[in-house]
Structure 1
Amino acid sequence: MRSNDYVKLVLILLIVAFSALIAFFPTVFTKEATIVDSKGTPKTVTGPAFPYRLGLDLKGGIHVVLDAVDTPEQPVTDEKIERAIAVLESRVNKLGVSETTIQRQGNLNRISIDLPGYQNKDEAMAILGKTALLQFKDADGKLIMTGDKIKDAQAVYGQAGNGLGQEWHIVMTMTPEGRDAFKQATKAAVAQTDEKKRIIAVYLDEELLMKPSVKEEIDSDTVSITSGSGDPTEKQAWSQQYALLIAGGALPIKLSSDPAELRVVGASLGQDTVNNVYLAAILALMLVGIYMLLYYKGMGLVSIVALAVYATIYLAALLIVGAVFSLPAIGAAIISVGMAVDSNVIIFERIRDEINEGKTPTSSVAQGFGKAFRTVLDSNITTLVGCGVLYWLGTGAVKGFALTLSFGIFTSFFTAVFVTRFIMDMIIRFWKPEPGSPMFKFFYGNGGAA
């Protein structure tokens, strides 16, 4: 082989090997995440870096739609909605809920949140609906700093430094700017002659959380906040909930306290149906492969190899981008399989036409791919345009359908014009059956020249 052929071979093998590891061996690539367990204790868990994410229709869970409220203080803009989505994602991730989908509903000022596998509606709204604007103020109401000066917040059980022994509380870690601001504020509070003014009030969404007395100047990166009242169970719940809100950051816009939609969704498709879907996908690939083998014989074998490469790369690509496997997405994947085969059909028919005109295999393959390329490209572009319109105007499952189909189009185009072409080039270079011989007819059909 020529040097560029070696490069192509190595590139194809690397892409296929990497894709196979992601698609079929999910534990090879892992990542760590910090979540809060049922006792409110932060812990680090390790899971697949590219997990299979099932949608609500396959797994069940909670579906919430929140309206963005336009106010003079916090006007709603496209940028703020995107920032709000990022904040909500941060909060949900700390809940340990995987396979979540948070997105804007079309061009509306609405945010849709799907929490597969999650069942607690009240807790979901408590976490998602609050603005979580944290403010520290002195006794005169002067702002000391806001929550953006907080790097992290965790609910822990231990000594809170208030002389009350072991209890649930929030430990906040501040940025250097926050530490300096807090130091100056506590220094000023200690200097007050009126004992009632030796306080720092902590507000969350303009609601007073606490106003502890300042006994001394605090020069530390960490600060503890306690609920001040309640039994241990209530303090645990309070610490866990508000630590999540503080760590997740403040929402840049106000979200409606009364959600436009809030419902617990049962898995409309049971596990047996999910297994049947997977079985159907495998059978579809097998039946398509058998048809290609019976109709195109030798070139059908090439299409089977290309189809296997396509399926591996396609599945890996969906996992890398975090696509959610819902019923519409699976439908789009099945459609893209047909498009992948269709590209090979167009190419093989052009090659057969050239062979039947008496041309050599080398010339037939080159001209067959050349003539088929424009047709394959045009068909893929028109489908991509349709996907783009669906993604732009659609919401939820429609966007998932469009995204999944788009990735299938790109992958099928790559395998058709690159992988299939490389295999065919290698065959005609190293295998030269006599025109008219049984092996020649098996692979190319009738016709051909020496």
Structure 2
Amino acid sequence: MLQFPAWKICLILGIMLWGTMMALPNVVNMSGAPAGVPKQGVNLGLDLQGGVYLMMEINPDEVVANRLEVFAIDVRNALGNKDGKPLIGHLSTVEGRTLNIELTRPDADGKFPMDEALTRIRKLNSSVEGAIGGAKTYEVEPAGPALIKVTVPATAEEALMKDALAKTMTIVRRRVDPEGVSEISITPQGNSRIILEAPGEPDATRLKNLLSRDGKMTFNLVESSPSAIAAAEKGVVKPGYRLLSGPQTGQLLVRNIPEVTGADIATASQGYDDGNRPQINFRLNGNGAAKFYQTTRNNSGKLFAIVLDDTIMSAPRINEPIPGGSVRITGDFTLEEAQDLAAIIEAGEMPAKVQFLDQRTVSATLGQDSIRAGIRASLIGLALVAIFMILAYGLMGIFAVGSLAANIILIVGALSGLGATLTLPGIAGIILTIGMAVDANVLVFERIREEQRAGRSPLTAVQAGYERALSTILDANITTFIAAAILYLLGSGPVKGFAVTLAIGIVTSVFTAFVLTRWFTVMWLKGFKPKKFAL
């Protein structure tokens, strides 16, 4: 217990050196430090750095409706003339939470091929992932001699919402932080809400505009025949087409069924055209590139509309087949618009539109005030604890205060090294740790006092004190660590920030109180060999 061989001393010094190096960027500019040395300090949370807080929600009705629309495309392909199967004429419409499939081509006897249609559609109906008993995603039932209704049961809806929430969180992160370098926080609330905290972001309106877009991108052929355009201008739109407009193209008659969709896009980025104006570059995946090449090869001379959220971004004319799958959108974009649009395209389409329920903006000035108040409270707490320990335990109290200072360095170093985010409740956790960190020392010192009163020498009293206090110290800190873990797992936002610093503080305080203070004490005992402790 009182033996400190060379390897133990090297380990203690190594841990302290690591903690100091990790904490150093918080007080010194380390931008010019060599490789391997940290250059950034602790990440500051929204309440300390300032930024934007948004609470968003996705509507279950919209999630279900969007999934039914996707299923309707699969149904169209299944009922079409494919793989030698006869075409089954039908008309599909999504009304709320129901997909209505109306069969439109009876046979010579006036009967509709209901059984064949149900068989084809049910083959598309996959099982819900993780559901017991192989429950299906959709309920497919006949509702008349020529009508099939497709709905989503409650068991499947729960799974769809869970999947939609996870995808929405991923897309939100990709849009807000496409480079993956910002310290944003995205946490779920229940099964339909998301909380976004973006420290350092000054513009809440820009974030909302970025997230309110569906991000649905399609490549559609344009009908340019004069008769169809003239009819559309009179309100008679050619079946299978719709009128869309764009800032650069005006109104165009665009085919409903796209040739290429956003799912075929591999990457997107902001770039510059030959005139050094911002543009959007993106590359299609293998499947998308093949479809794009086939379309441009078979439709020479036609306009090819690039549509984002029902707005035509561009409509170039197809002059020749375009292989490779590299596409660009040019226009009168600002740099920020091009960057945001590239982030939206890269992130992909939202499972459902997000609705904003709450919005808060924290100014950077208020964050700095919180930091100053937290530092002041920490210093006052440290000073009061130091005064008490020195008055109560003398030299041993000084050892404890030295360990407490080392504990704070290790906490800050661990936060920096682990990339954790420090919040205002996190500062409260550090202040609480300052008070808790000396508990172990108090238990040990009181044990040593008892052993000295029983007639033991200082060396044996120290050994007995540490041995008998060990189990109590571990029990107290393990239970507190479990509480911190539960707070982190079940809490969110400020509660997580408090739990992180509390958990790190528990680990570092056990090390400094039981190892560092003991090392100080043993070094002093072996160096000065006192006959009695002044406790």
Into which bin does the TM-score normalised by the smaller protein fall?
Answer: 0.7 to 0.9
Structure 2 residue matching 1:216: 3-state secondary structure = coil
Deviation at 1:213, TM superposition (A): 2.9
C-alpha distance in structure 1 between counterparts of 2:47 and 2:180, whole Å: 20
C-alpha distance in structure 2 between counterparts of 1:268 and 1:313, whole Å: 28
C-alpha distance in structure 1 between counterparts of 2:7 and 2:418, whole Å: 27
More moved, 393-402 vs 217-226 = 217-226
Q: Which residue of 2 aligns with 1:441?
A: 533
Q: What is the 5 A alignment of 1:148-167? A: 149-154=265-270, 156-159=271-274, 166-167=276-277
**Equivalent position amino acid for 1:314 in 2:** I
1:132 and 2:224 matched: no
* Alignment TM-score, normalising by the size of structure 2: 0.66
* Alignment TM-score, normalising by the size of structure 1: 0.77
Q: Which residue of 1 aligns with 2:301?
A: 195
**1:121 paired residue among 193, 204, 226:** 204
| Count of equivalent residues | 402
Deviation at 1:170, TM superposition (A): 0.6
1:19 and 2:102 matched: no
C-alpha distance in structure 2 between counterparts of 1:205 and 1:28, whole Å: 45
**2:59 paired residue among 69, 82, 86:** 69
Deviation at 1:314, TM superposition (A): 0.6
C-alpha distance in structure 1 between counterparts of 2:192 and 2:373, whole Å: 38
Q: Which residue of 2 aligns with 1:168?
A: 278
Deviation at 1:310, TM superposition (A): 0.8
Deviation at 1:400, TM superposition (A): 1.6
The 1:57/1:145 distance shift into structure 2, 3 A limit, reads closer
**Superimposed CA distance per residue, residues 286-321 of structure 1 (whole angstroms, 9 cap, x where no aligned partner):** 332232222211211221221122111111112233
CA RMSD of aligned residues (A): 3.4
C-alpha distance in structure 1 between counterparts of 2:455 and 2:197, whole Å: 60
1:341 and 2:438 matched: yes
Q: What is the 5 A alignment of 1:354-433? A: 354-428=451-525, 430-431=526-527, 433=529
**Equivalent position amino acid for 2:48 in 1:** L
C-alpha distance in structure 1 between counterparts of 2:449 and 2:338, whole Å: 71
Q: Which runs of 5+ in 1 are unaligned?
A: 32-46, 160-164, 446-450
Q: Which residue of 2 aligns with 1:218?
A: 322
1:84 and 2:153 matched: no
**2:195 paired residue among 112, 115, 124:** 112
Of all paired residues, the percent bearing the same amino acid is 30
Deviation at 1:434, TM superposition (A): 4.2
The 1:49/1:441 distance shift into structure 2, 3 A limit, reads closer
C-alpha distance in structure 1 between counterparts of 2:446 and 2:163, whole Å: 50
More moved, 68-77 vs 235-244 = 68-77
C-alpha distance in structure 2 between counterparts of 1:49 and 1:133, whole Å: 40
Deviation at 1:16, TM superposition (A): 1.6
1:58 and 2:39 matched: no
CA contact (8 A) 2:178 2:343 kept: yes
Deviation at 1:260, TM superposition (A): 0.9
Q: Which residue of 1 aligns with 2:351?
A: 253
**1:243 paired residue among 342, 358, 374:** 342
**Equivalent position amino acid for 1:188 in 2:** Q
Q: Which residue of 1 aligns with 2:9?
A: 9
CA contact (8 A) 1:19 1:316 kept: yes
Deviation at 1:220, TM superposition (A): 4.0
**Superimposed CA distance per residue, residues 164-186 of structure 1 (whole angstroms, 9 cap, x where no aligned partner):** x5532112245xxx1x4454334
C-alpha distance in structure 2 between counterparts of 1:14 and 1:138, whole Å: 66
1:185 and 2:291 matched: yes
**Equivalent position amino acid for 1:226 in 2:** T
**Superimposed CA distance per residue, residues 68-87 of structure 1 (whole angstroms, 9 cap, x where no aligned partner):** 33322456444553453343
The 1:404/1:127 distance shift into structure 2, 3 A limit, reads same
Q: What is the 5 A alignment of 1:290-309? A: 290-309=387-406
Q: Which residue of 2 aligns with 1:38?
A: none
**Equivalent position amino acid for 2:527 in 1:** W
Q: Which runs of 5+ in 2 are unaligned?
A: 68-156, 223-254
Q: Runs (4+) of structure 1 moved beyond 6 Å?
A: none
Larger C-alpha radius of gyration, 1 or 2?
2
Q: Which residue of 2 aligns with 1:146?
A: 262
**Equivalent position amino acid for 1:218 in 2:** I
C-alpha distance in structure 2 between counterparts of 1:133 and 1:142, whole Å: 11
**Superimposed CA distance per residue, residues 31-85 of structure 1 (whole angstroms, 9 cap, x where no aligned partner):** 9xxxxxxxxxxxxxxx975443333433433221111333224564445534533
CA contact (8 A) 2:452 2:458 kept: yes
Q: Which residue of 2 aligns with 1:44?
A: none
C-alpha distance in structure 2 between counterparts of 1:25 and 1:401, whole Å: 22
The 1:83/1:424 distance shift into structure 2, 3 A limit, reads farther
C-alpha distance in structure 1 between counterparts of 2:414 and 2:218, whole Å: 43
